[in-house]
Amino acid sequence: MALFLPLQILTAAPDERVFGLDTQMVIHIIAQAINVSLLTVLMVYLLYRPVQNFLRKRSEKIKSQIDQAALDMATADALRSQYKENLAHIEQERTEILDSAQKTAAEKSRKIVQAGQVQAEGAYSQALLDIEKEKARVQDALRLQVIALSSVMAGKIVAHGMDQETQDRLFDEALAELESTPWPG
């Protein structure tokens, strides 16, 4: 209700001015300007600079974190490339080791087969020598038996003073005896 004051009250006001540029007003304006300046300076020192310092420190921290992240990323890339190189090197070494192992195994196999062949040839040669020795021994034994049989036959022939028929009969008996005699072996 106070907003709608009658027009008469506004016009009936004493000769006071609403806005007068007198000394009192200038002092108020200067005081207000000093207050605003002091508050501005005070606000700059109390709020603006700490906030500015906080923001500067925060942006430096973020920048250092970004730099550290870039450094970590470069390190990770270097490690990844080194890992790939090592993996390729390991694969190459694995291939070389497998090839070497296969060559070594083939060489050992060849040597074993060769040694087996040499051993088999030696055993075969020894068996042939043993057979030849046994054959010679059997022939010697057979010779001795033939000689003994011939002696016996000659003794019988001489003892009987024989004729042809008796000699043939004795020869057949000696031959039968020779065939029935087991062979040494």
CA distance 176 to 172: 6
CA-only gyration radius of the chain, Å: 68
Question: Could you give the count of Cα atoms lying within 13 Å of 184 in the half-sphere of its Cβ?
Answer: 12
pLDDT of residue 14: 45
Least confident of 74-83, 142-151, 152-161: 152-161
- pLDDT of residue 15 exceeding 70, the answer is no
pLDDT of residue 6: 46
Alpha-carbon distances of 159 from 148, 166, 170, rounded to whole Å: 16, 12, 12
Kindly state the average pLDDT of the residues 86-105: 90
CA distance 144 to 124: 30
| Domain parsing of the chain, residue ranges | 23-180
pLDDT of residue 184: 61
Residue 184 CB neighbour total at 10 angstroms: 12
Are the CB atoms for 145 and 178 separated by under 8 Å? Answer: yes
In the structure, what pLDDT confidence band is assigned to residue 4 with cuts at 50, 70 and 90? very low
Least confident of 59-68, 77-86, 168-177: 168-177
Q: Which of 62, 3, 97, 67 is nearest to 75 (CA)?
A: 67
**Maximum mean pLDDT: which of 59-68, 107-116, 126-135, 155-164:** 59-68
Q: To the nearest whole percent, how much of the chain has pLDDT over 90?
A: 29
Q: Mean pLDDT in the chain?
A: 82
Kindly state the average pLDDT of the residues 48-71: 92
Angle, helix 164-180 to helix 49-160, in steps of 10 degrees: 160
- pLDDT of residue 12 exceeding 60, the answer is no
pLDDT of residue 172: 85
